Amino acid sequence: MATALISTTSTTSIGAGPQNWSDLPDGLLHSILLHLYLTRDLLAFSSVCRSWRSFAISTMAAFPTSIFPPLFIFSDTKYRSRRCRRIIPSSLLLWDSATSYQIACTKTFNQSPVEECILSIPFLSCSHGHLLFLTRCRQILVVNFITGFQITSPVLPFNHHPSSAYSRLALLTSPVSSPNCTLIFLTTDCLFLWKINSPDLISRPLRVRFTQLRQMIVVGSRIVVVALVGRRVWALELGNMLDLPQYLCPKELVVQCPTHEIFPCFEKAQFVDCEGEILYVCFTPSNETSNGETEYKVEVFRVDMFDDHMILVKMDDLGDRALFLSDGVNATGCVCNNPERWGGKNNSIYYARDDRWYRFEVGSFVSWCKVSHTKCFNSFWHYASILQ
C-alpha cells in the first residue's frame, strides 16, 4: 500500500519537486502514514531511509496514544517429557491485531528472532518494546522482540533468586534509546534501579515487606505498586535517584471508590496509562453461572492520584478508545485511539489469554475459569519499539 502511494505521488512530481525519497515533504509523508494500518507497514515505512524513520518516530511520539493497534505476542510451546509435562516455549510468535483472525490462522505467524534458550528463562514483563528476563546469574536480560538486540544489566546484589512470579516486578521508565532510560526491578523487600548502559546499579532495601506483588506502574516521580494480599496499593517516591535514602519507606495509599463499599482490587485488575491519565480496569465478581463459574462485570475507573490517597471515579465507557490487557503478571496494557480505523471496536477491552484474545465492552459480564500463572511468559499485547 505504501509503495503504491509513494509511486503515484513521485511520478507526478518529476521535474517539479523532490527527486529522492528522503526529500519528500512532511505533509506527503504524513498523508502516507495515515493510510497505513498494519504495524509491519509502519516498520517498512521507517526502513526506507533515515529521514523517513525520523519522521515516523517523531510523528508517533506526537500522538497521545497510538493510532496503530499493538501486536499480539504469544509463545509456541512444546513439552520436555511426557512425565514432567512442563511447558517449554520454543519460539515467540507475533500477530498484527489489524489482521483478521481468520486470515491469521491460515497463514504463518511472524516469528520473533528471540532464541529458544532465552524464552526458557523466567520472564518478568514487556516494557517499551523489550522483553525483560531474570537470568540464573541474577542479571536482567533486556531483549528487543523485533530485532533480537540484547542488553544485560550488572549482577543484582541479592543472594536469593525470586522463585515466584508474584515476588518480583520489572519495567523500563522510557524507550531504551532515551538517554534517561532506567530499569526498575522490585522484589518483596528491595528496589533496584539501573540506568541503561551504566556500569553500576542502585539498590535500596524496603522498610515494608511486600507480599504477592501484582503490578507496578510509574506515575510521575512515583512508583505505584499493587499487592494482591489485603488489596493494598503502595507508593514509592523516586525523586532524584542519586539522592535516594538508604532505606525506602513505601507509603500506603488510601483508596476511595464512591461507587463501591470496598476497593475493587481483584486478580485480573490492572492500572493502564492512558494519554497521561491513569485508568483502573477490574473484573468485579457479580453472579454465579449455571455451570458453577463466577460471572464478572467489566468495570473501568479513572484514577485521581493525590499525595496520600487515590480516588477511583467510575467511567461508563471509553469513548473512541480501546484498551489491550492480558493475564500476565505486571502486564502494562496498551491503549489505541479510534480502533475503528483498522477494523477494531470503540469502547472495548481486548483481553489476551493463552494463545487467544477476547473482546469485552465496558459494563458487560464475562465468565472466567481460574487463571494459573507460570514462570514462562503468558500472551500479551505490546507495541514494536519503533512506536516508542
Cell numbers that stand for 299 in this block: 468495570
Q: Is the dihedral of CA 202, 207, 208, 210 positive or negative?
A: positive
pLDDT score at 300: 92
Cα–Cα distance, 380 to 194 (Å, whole number): 25
Looking at domain 71-387, its CATH architecture is 6 Propeller (2.120)
Looking at domain 2-62, its CATH architecture is Up-down Bundle (1.20)
Cell numbers that stand for 134 in this block: 531474570
- Please list the residues that pair with 326 across neighbouring strands: 352
- Residue in the structure block whose three cell numbers are 477511583: 312
pLDDT score at 38: 80
Query: How many other β-carbons are positioned within 10 Å of the β-carbon of residue 131?
Result: 25
pLDDT score at 155: 93
Altogether, the residues listed in the chain come to a count of 388
pLDDT score at 171: 93
Q: How far is CA 266 from the centre of its chain?
A: 19
- Spans of all domains in the chain: 2-62, 71-387
Please give the backbone phi and psi of residue 32, each rounded to the nearest 5 degrees, phi first.
-65, -45
pLDDT score at 3: 37
Q: Which residues contact 29 (CB under 8 A, 6 or more apart)?
A: 52, 55
DSSP state, residue 167: G
Q: Parallel, antiparallel, or unpaired for β 222-227 and 270-274?
A: unpaired
Q: For residue range 46-62, list pLDDT tens digits in order.
A: 888 888 888 887 877 66
Cα–Cα distance, 329 to 267 (Å, whole number): 10
Which helix (H) or strand (E) is 57 found in, with range? helix 50-62
Cα–Cα distance, 163 to 122 (Å, whole number): 9
Q: For residue range 340-387, list pLDDT tens digits in order.
A: 888 889 999 998 887 788 888 998 888 765 444 444 557 888 888 765
Concatenate the DSSP letters of all residues of 12-29 into one string: HTTTTS--SGGG--HHHH
pLDDT score at 265: 57
Q: pLDDT per position in the chain (388 positions), as tens?
A: 333 333 333 344 444 555 677 788 888 888 888 888 888 888 888 888 888 888 887 877 666 557 788 888 888 776 554 555 556 677 888 888 777 544 444 444 578 888 888 888 888 888 988 999 999 888 999 999 988 999 999 999 876 666 666 788 999 998 888 888 999 999 988 999 999 989 999 999 999 888 888 888 888 888 988 876 656 889 998 887 778 888 999 999 988 888 776 666 555 678 888 877 899 998 877 776 666 677 888 889 999 999 999 999 999 999 999 999 987 656 678 899 889 888 889 999 998 887 788 888 998 888 765 444 444 557 888 888 765 4
Domain 2-62 and domain 71-387 have a common topology: no
Q: Helix, strand, coil shares of the chain as percentages rounded to 5?
A: 15, 40, 45
pLDDT score at 13: 44
